[in-house]
């Protein structure tokens, strides 16, 4: 397949999948289809074409983290504490099962902890649309469930950041230096966040035709500067998004303003490139069977936890909002690939796929016209 044919296929994919998933009333399935398409598409491409898509996907990865940060609008600590406590219990009760599952496949402890952190987390980008269209979830239970989703995502990202450092240098005194660098990064971005927010706000108000391009350019410039300073660009994108989560213009968030380049172009390419990292032979392996059985078992286990021990005050299906985790699995897979753990990266991607497909499909459907309008 030539480069032009590859680009034609990608453009057709980016045009068709979001609208089709919106008409189904399940827009969260779009990223899942992109990963599956990447897995299949890789068999028709040569090395150069796969490299081209993966390079574009690296930029999409930064925008994924930026948008994840934008989704996290933390309330006051006192208001957030009950949700944080619930999320801690939710994750800790599952960690032993997830670690056993990863160990059964044959991974080491560091890879197992990374996998457990990702699969116990929640992808707000996938679960939020389900939350908006979830009927019967009203009053305090509605806000409580949203804050739990946020807490699960934050805890997963923090835990994976520590695990990623351990994968590269092992547990030791150097990990304290890495964590210190992260703290410095957070401090620097927080100190400059007010000025950057004003700059973004000014660009949104003053620019017209190039507004989207300037916003994406500024995100990438901040990431590039942090990279030059030997500070992790992905973490810079995430914290920048988190500190700018309340920036709006005409009632629309930054996420909606940059959607033409991010959600409708570079982020889907990242998920396609993620699918290309999956070895197709893995689909018919013992590990894939364990991943599928583990996903089914853990969703059932979560149902039991929600009914008996960790009730939210909402309907019985509310726990499904905490289950989609493909974005978290993608972040874990990226860190594992950087550490040279190809097999673990493939397996956590498959687990994230199975978890997300099952949970999103079991969630109540949104109205097709509303879901399509979001894209």
Q: What is the pLDDT of residues 247-261, one digit of tens each?
A: 666 666 777 777 778
- 152 with 327: CB under 8 angstroms? no
Per-residue pLDDT, 255: 76
DSSP string computed for 100-154: HHHHHHT--HHHHHHHHHHHHS--HHHHHHHHHT-TT--HHHHHHHHHHHHHHHH
In the structure encoding, which two tokens stand for residue 253, read together?
Answer: 């968030």
Task: Kindly list the distances between the CA atom of residue 249 and the CA atoms of 206, 252, 346, in Å, as whole numbers in the listed order.
Answer: 11, 5, 40
Per-residue pLDDT, 46: 83
Per-residue pLDDT, 327: 87
Question: What is the CB-side half-sphere exposure of residue 229 using CA atoms within 13 A?
Answer: 17
Give the residue among 150, 18, 179, 119 at the shortest CA–CA distance from 355: 119
Domains of the chain: residue spans and CATH? 58-365 (1.20.1530)
Q: Assign 275 a pLDDT band (cuts: 50, 70, 90).
A: confident
Length of the chain: 375
Mean pLDDT of the chain: 81
- 318 with 134: CB under 8 angstroms? yes
Q: Assign 374 a pLDDT band (cuts: 50, 70, 90).
A: very low
pTM, whole model, 2 decimals?
A: 0.79
Q: Return phi, psi of residue 210, to 5°.
A: -105, 15
Taking residues 303-320, report their average pLDDT.
89
Per-residue pLDDT, 296: 93
Q: What is the pLDDT of residues 205-244, one digit of tens each?
A: 666 666 677 778 888 888 888 777 766 787 778 777 877 7
Number of neighbours of residue 295 by Cβ within 10 angstroms = 24
């Amino acid at each position: 397949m030539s480069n032009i044919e590859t680009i034609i296929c990608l453009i057709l994919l980016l045009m068709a999948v979001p609208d089709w998933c919106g008409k189904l009333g399940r827009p969260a399935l779009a990223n899942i289809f992109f990963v599956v398409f990447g897995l299949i598409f890789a068999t028709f491409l040569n090395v150069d074409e796969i490299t081209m898509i993966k390079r574009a996907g690296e930029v999409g990865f930064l925008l994924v983290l930026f948008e994840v940060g934008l989704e996290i609008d933390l309330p006051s600590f006192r208001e957030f504490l009950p949700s944080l406590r619930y999320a801690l219990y939710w994750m800790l009760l599952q960690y032993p099962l997830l670690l056993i599952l990863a160990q059964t496949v044959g991974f080491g402890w560091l890879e197992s902890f990374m996998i457990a952190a990702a699969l116990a987390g929640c992808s707000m980008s996938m679960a939020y649309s389900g939350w908006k269209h979830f009927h019967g979830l009203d009053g305090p239970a509605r806000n409580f469930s949203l804050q739990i989703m946020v807490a699960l995502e934050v805890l997963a990202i923090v835990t994976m950041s520590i695990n990623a450092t351990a994968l590269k240098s092992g547990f030791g005194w150097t990990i304290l230096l890495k964590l210190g660098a992260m703290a410095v990064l957070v401090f620097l971005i927080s100190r400059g966040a007010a000025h950057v927010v004003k700059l973004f706000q000014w660009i949104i108000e003053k620019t017209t035709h190039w507004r989207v391009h300037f916003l994406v350019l500024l995100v990438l410039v901040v990431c590039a500067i942090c990279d030059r300073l030997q500070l992790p660009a992905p973490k810079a994108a995430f914290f920048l998004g988190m500190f700018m989560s309340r920036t709006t213009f005409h009632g629309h968030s930054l996420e909606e303003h940059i959607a033409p380049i991010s959600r409708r172009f570079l982020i889907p390419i990242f998920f396609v490139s993620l699918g290309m990292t999956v070895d197709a032979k893995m689909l018919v392996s013992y590990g894939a069977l364990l991943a599928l059985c583990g996903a089914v078992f853990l969703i059932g286990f979560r149902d039991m936890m929600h009914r008996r021990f960790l009730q939210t005050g909402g309907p019985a299906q509310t726990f499904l909002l905490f289950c989609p985790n493909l974005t978290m699995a993608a972040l874990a897979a990226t860190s594992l690939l950087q550490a040279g753990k190809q097999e673990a990266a493939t397996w956590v991607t498959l687990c994230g796929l199975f978890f997300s497909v099952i949970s999103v499909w079991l969630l109540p459907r949104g109205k097709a016209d509303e879901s399509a309008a979001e894209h």
